[in-house]
Chains A and B, each alone.
Chain A
Amino acid sequence: MDARTALAPPAKSPVPGGRNLHRFANPGRFLRLSGKVLPWFSAAGLVLTLIGLGWGLFFAPADWQQGDAVRIMYVHVPFAWLASAGYVGLALCSLASLVWRHPLADLAAQEIGPVGAGATALCLATGSLWGKPMWGAWWVWDARLTSVLVLFFLYLGHVALVRAFDDPARGARAGAILALVGAVDLPIIKFSVNWWNTLHQPATITLTGAPTMYLGMLWPLFIAALGLTLGFVAVILARTRAAVMERRIRALLLAQAQREQVLPRQVGA
Chain B
Amino acid sequence: MTHLTYIIAAYGLFVVVAVWFSATAWARMARARRRLAAIDPRASR
Contacts and interface: CB of A to CB of B under 8 A. Distances in A.
A76 B32 contact: no
A126 B25 contact: no
B10 A130 contact: yes
Interface of A: 53, 57, 62, 67-69, 71-72, 75-76, 79, 115, 118, 121-122, 125-126, 129-130, 132-133, 231, 234-235, 238-239, 241-242, 245-246, 248-249, 252-253, 256
A130 B1 CA distance: 15
A129 B2 contact: no
Interface of B: 1-4, 6-7, 9-11, 13-14, 17-18, 21-22, 25-26, 28-29, 31-33, 35-36, 39-40, 43-44
Majority secondary structure of chain B interface residues (helix, strand, loop or mixed)? helix
Contacts of A115: 21
Contacts of B32: 241-242, 245-246, 249
Majority secondary structure of chain A interface residues (helix, strand, loop or mixed)? helix
A91 B29 CA distance: 24
Contacts of A248: 36, 43
B11 A53 contact: yes
A129 B10 contact: yes
Given A69-B2, A239-B25, 13 more contacts: A62-B1, A75-B14, A79-B14, A122-B17, A125-B10, A126-B13, A126-B14, A132-B6, A235-B22, A235-B25, A245-B33, A248-B36, A249-B39
Given A115-B21, A126-B13, A238-B29, A252 B40 contact: yes
Contacts of B3: 67-69, 133
A235 B39 contact: no
B43 A69 contact: no
A231 B23 CA distance: 12
